[in-house]
Amino acid sequence: MTHSILHIDTSIKPEGSMSKSLTSDIVARLRAAHPESSVTYRDLAAHPLPETDAAWFAAISVPAEDRSPEQTDIAALSDRLIAEVRNADTIVIGLPVYNFNVPSQLKTWIDLLAQPGVTFRYTEDGPEGLIQGTRAIIAYASNGTRMGSEIDFASAYMRHILGFFGITDVQFVASDHFAIDAESSVKAANDGIAGLAA
């Protein structure tokens, strides 16, 4: 059976990116376990997505079948990104920590995924995520912001927002103290990749 992988990189570094190195290694591990895998790749820094605005909000607030041609065009990218997530068995996301939080490029991707009634809905019992059965593996990379520490606002946000969409199987691989001890930081990440269930 084909295993579908969505590979998302977000680092602004064209070379020498730890998060890109980690996502590449994670995808390689998944493909080794699933030789028939298909991979959809997006580099959100090299090919930035447009930020959401009032026109986008108006377009996605209308049911798809009721949108005007202009609204359909405006919502098309958001719909395509959602389809990529829905079609993925596993999403591999590079998370370089910038100023204690997620890169703006990654936040824009998340904003474009947030369509009420499509990726989430509100019920009497609270919000319900509408993307089911998808696994996420996040490559967390930081020079010194330890994952899970009081100054780490990135990993908790990613776990929360993915869960909000219904993606609750979320795993992290972390190289989170590279500027302090590069060797042990890389080793910790490699050990984390080796321990992933493929």
Domain boundaries of the chain, sorted by first residue: 4-194
**What pLDDT is attached to residue 82?**
98
Is the predicted pLDDT of residue 115 greater than 90, yes or no?
A: yes
- Residues making up the annotated binding site for FMN are 11, 17-19
DSSP state of 141: E
pLDDT confidence bin for 198, thresholds 50/70/90 = confident
The single residue listed with the structure tokens 């996420």 is 136
Across the chain, mean pLDDT equals 96
Confidence (pTM)? 0.96
The single residue listed with the structure tokens 């946000």 is 157
Question: Strand, helix or coil at 13?
Answer: coil
Second CATH level (architecture) for the domain 4-194: 3-Layer(aba) Sandwich (3.40)
Which of 33, 30, 42, 32 has its CA nearest to residue 137? 30
- Residues making up the annotated binding site are 11, 17-19
